[in-house]
Amino acid sequence: MAVSRSLRRLLRIRDLQEEQGRLALESTQGELNRLEDGLKATENQDRRGRRLLDASAWSGELPDRLSGLEDSRTATRFAAVLAPRIEAKRMDVNIRRQEFQSMRVARKQAESLIADAVSEDAIDAGRRSQQGLDDWYSSKLHQAQSQQRRVEEGEKVANTDGGSSAGGNT
């Protein structure tokens, strides 16, 4: 069975689907990384605000204290907004990863089908080649046997002819 065009087309489609799935996964993973980086930035902003608040407690600077409180509160609000988004994006990444893996399995199955078809073709070609060699050898053997029979029949005829004439001479 030759590898059909439809199987090759199927493999190309599976390759494209896998590539699209990989790109979607990478994109979603990038978005998750940006959200996590934003969360780290808000955590750093919260730490800076607390340090400023602690420093203003020793120095007595009211504007520094207010700025520290506001930085800390803002960071806490941003973290509260980012946390559910990060969780949702993690779930989205997991879904994309599963889709990508299923696309990869589908592509590998198509590759397997094509490899099996190519293997079967090679085996069939080997069988046909061997059958051709067997037929050629058989015909040569048959020709040789036919030739040998003709030679033996010719010798019998010669011996029969030779024996009659030899017997008639004596």
Which CATH number applies to 5-159? 1.10.287
- Cα angle: 128, vertex 132, 136; to 5 degrees: 170
Extract the runs of DSSP E, i.e. beta strands, from 15-162: none
Residue spans of the domains in the chain: they are: 5-159
pLDDT for position 164: 52
Which of 72, 94, 83 has its CA nearest to residue 38? 83
Distance CA 14, CA 24 (A): 15
Distance CA 132, CA 125 (A): 10
If you count DSSP H runs as helices and E runs as strands, how many of each does the chain have, helices first? Answer: 2, 0
Judge contact between 56 and 62, C-beta under 8 A: yes
Judge contact between 114 and 8, C-beta under 8 A: yes
Tell me the pLDDT tens digit for each residue of 80-99.
Answer: 999 999 999 999 999 999 99
pLDDT for position 170: 47
Report the 10 Å Cβ neighbour count for 160. 10
Distance CA 84, CA 80 (A): 7
pLDDT < 70 regions, the chain? 1-2, 161-170
